[in-house]
Structure 1
Amino acid sequence: MPIQFQCPHCQHAMQLPDTAAGKQGKCPKCSNAVTVPAAGAAAPNNPHDEEFWSELDEKKEDAPVQEDAHAPVKRTDAQILKKMLGKAEEAKVVKRIGMPWERPKEGGMFDRYWDTAIGVMNHSTDTFNEMKLGGGIGSPMKFLIVGVLLGSLIGAVYGLVGNVVRIVGDADLSSEVDEDAEGEEAEAAPKSTGIVVTPAMAIYMVVAFFATFIGGAIGGVVHTFLQAAGLQVTLPMVGVKDANFETNFRVAAFTNGSIYLCNIVPGLGGAFMLFLWFNGMIKGLESVYKVPAKTAGLAVFILFIPLVLPIVAVVGFLALTMLGYIG
């Protein structure tokens, strides 16, 4: 038979099963301890009843929360200010969710490559703030390979076009010489019959194409590893003590794999690549190691002298030679 009684503290009326006789619980209204009065007959000392009463207490304790769930919560000015400051600090926390390349669910391989490359070149700070600091070098290595293959292919195609233009130009020059020849010497001289591509020329163009493509791809990957290893030396020189190879490689791989797209700009592609290389490397190191831009820039400049400057000098010399300014 149910036991009906009132809370001695708040007079809240309660009705409980007779198995709760003599047990203690909390009033669902005032939360004060209440002893259930005895019923006409003694309640059986059954472990199941104890378990039931315990569960009943837990449900009763949760009841006030449910009743006040929609009631407005009053907070002091200090509590409100603390919450606002907490949200502001949370907004400053860098969430390294990974670059687009590291998020396979966001699209196909080339879409993710394009988004990452454009981000590195145009929004370096924001993009490197998303880059994961761990996870191995496999993912950035794949990105680098895609970038150097595309860039080397573009460079090889431009080189092939340049060779064809040079052959056509030489044929036109030979034709002009034939037209200017006079007298018996002109009649005796064999005249050009148009553009003639000899087997040697064809072999040269094919070899030059694949040499540019394969050599550029291999050289790009090897040079990126050298950059990551070089940063292990230059970063401690400028005061960065926690430098590690994996982080260095991730910065170098995503930077170099992105700037190879600049090969699509004939003539000025190399200059764009050099500028964007400095920008990407500095912003990347600044983000991952939390160092000032001057510190990151000094480390990259020290790296530039032995690793990149000789390449710039050789490429510049070859370009000037091909244009006729040297030799």
Structure 2
Amino acid sequence: MALRPGSTPRFAYKGDRLKPLRAFCQTARLGSVSRAAEALYLSQPAVTLQLQALERDLGVRLLERSGRRITLTREGQELYELARPLVEGLDGLDSAFRDRVSGLDAGDLQVAAGSSTILYLLPKIVEAFQARHPEVRLSLHNVTGAGGLELLRSDAVDLAVGSMLDVPADLDYAPVYRFEPMLITPRDHPLAHKPELALGDLSPYGLILPPKRLTTYRLVDLVFHQNRVPYTVALEVGGWEVIKQYVAMGLGISIVTAICLTDADRERLAARSLARYFPSRTYGVVVRKGKFLSPQARAFTELIKPALFERGDYYGTGPSER
């Protein structure tokens, strides 16, 4: 049947617009039609047909192949930002409705965080959350930064709490607190009592640092090279508690984030700010863009700032203004 002049094409799939939009969002998120088909329990040709129909209906190209991976065109990115929260909102409607009806009396909450965040930042938050919502099953996933991002992208966790320097385009990061970089030494170390501390003053002493693959090591290396100051690494070891113990034993000095320093540490270590040379580190909440947060997740994030205000054992500068 011929179309009347000025009429708009109509496609049968419009009766269920959610299906092609869901196929599009999964393909955009996973970068592959085959992986999207697996996630949707559909055949690859079925997903391809839905994507083609969506492009015909909108009259624009939404996806393009870059090597073996599918990427979004400019128009595709715009549609993705519009469609993703709608698709996820509808997909999560049943769960959201049950949560609204039953409140926070039950359910699961999955949170990703690194060791330092779990050890120094989250205890009071977890304590407050469990006191208010004892029926919620809270799971903390102890992962490094890259591991936490993978869990976020695969929806294995609801949110992540930690520090980020570079924020990927598909994630949202809300920094809450900022902590200064600190030099720690034994209390009787020459640098502990030096009136003015320059970066070059650290050169004669071996540094105890986390492994090279971690952000702290890479940041230390960058700052020393930018200032053309030589440095030596006496020891690489994971975990702030181990590093502090080795510094207290006189095995070297270290550059740490103030989040890990407590009143007990100040009795055995000298700590001096290096904010003149090193950037402060922020800690906050990371979520996937367009992610529908459950009431449990929202309740957890709302506790973060009040709980942090109760901390008095850090060299921080208060809530982040970034």
TM range, smaller chain:
under 0.3
Q: TM-score, normalised by structure 2?
A: 0.19
Q: TM-score, normalised by structure 1?
A: 0.19
More helix by share: 1
